[in-house]
Amino acid sequence: MLAVSKYAPDAAVQILIDAGQRQFGESRPQNLRDRANRWPDCEWHMIGPLQKNKAKYIGRHAAVWHSCDNMQTAQAVARYVTDRVLPVLIQVNIAGAPGQHGVHPDAVEDFAAGLRDIANLSVVGLMCMAPKAGDVRQAFRAVRGLRDRLFDGSFSDADGGELCMGMSGDYRIALQEGATMVRLGSILFGDQDVR
């Protein structure tokens, strides 16, 4: 479980850490850097859209990058990954909806193959958000199918096969459909922007 702390104040983050939580999701690169510096014993996962000019924060400080959907940005991030390998999830735009983040399902395999050529990045799975319209369960099932094909096929020798899907409103469905990670924000912290 990732605790999505993007709207949570530091005091609320500290309460979860005291309760034993170590995996957190942030969607703004500078906030991720600040919190990774403040709480280095936790793992800070990047889950939001990333612009190339913020790549250094993710290459240096993210434990996992979940929202990878652009090759140029991936190359930029990799330049800042030193002395380690950064695990990456490919964000899938499962409905193929224009204007939403993520790689079109038909392009995921080629995109994954391209990422393989980038040193210091390692593709470990897929991430998605439920489509704004349509059947959530069907969407999750489709991403699971993609994950199964990718990690039984061209990536069968690779680590991973992670499937990061499900938020406060739909995590039960995501778990039923095989999610290995869920991203929970408002159900943990409340839904007000109190930061």
Q: What is the dihedral of CA 134, 102, 41, 32, to 10 degrees?
A: -100
Answer yes or no whether residue 167 interacts with ligand PLP by CB under 6 A: yes
Among 84, 169, 172, 194, contact with ligand PLP (rule: CB under 6 A): 169
Mark 30-69 with x for binding to ligand PLP (rule: CB under 6 A) and - for no binding.
-----------------xx---------------------
Answer yes or no whether residue 6 interacts with ligand PLP by CB under 6 A: yes
| Residue whose CB is less far from ligand PLP, 136 or 158 | 136
| Residue whose CB is less far from ligand PLP, 81 or 167 | 167
In terms of Cα–Cα distance, which of 8, 43, 51, 46 is closest to 23? 43
Answer yes or no whether residue 3 interacts with ligand PLP by CB under 6 A: no
Residues 6+ apart with CB under 8 A from 174: 140, 165, 166, 182
Whether the CB-CB separation of 122 and 86 falls below 8 Å is answered with yes
| Residue whose CB is less far from ligand PLP, 112 or 167 | 167
Mark 110-149 with x for binding to ligand PLP (rule: CB under 6 A) and - for no binding.
-------------------x--------------------
Q: How far apart are CA 40 and CA 20, in angstroms?
A: 14
Answer yes or no whether residue 186 interacts with ligand PLP by CB under 6 A: yes
Q: Phi, psi (5° rounding) for residue 7?
A: -105, 5
- Amino acid type, 24: F
Q: Give min distance, CB of 119 to ligand PLP, in A.
A: 27
Give me the count of residues in the chain. Answer: 195
Q: How far apart are CA 37 and CA 102, in angstroms?
A: 28
Among 23, 75, 168, 180, contact with ligand PLP (rule: CB under 6 A): 168
CB 8: neighbour CB atoms within 10 A? 24
Binding site for ligand PLP (CB under 6 A): 4, 6, 27, 47-48, 129, 167-169, 183-187
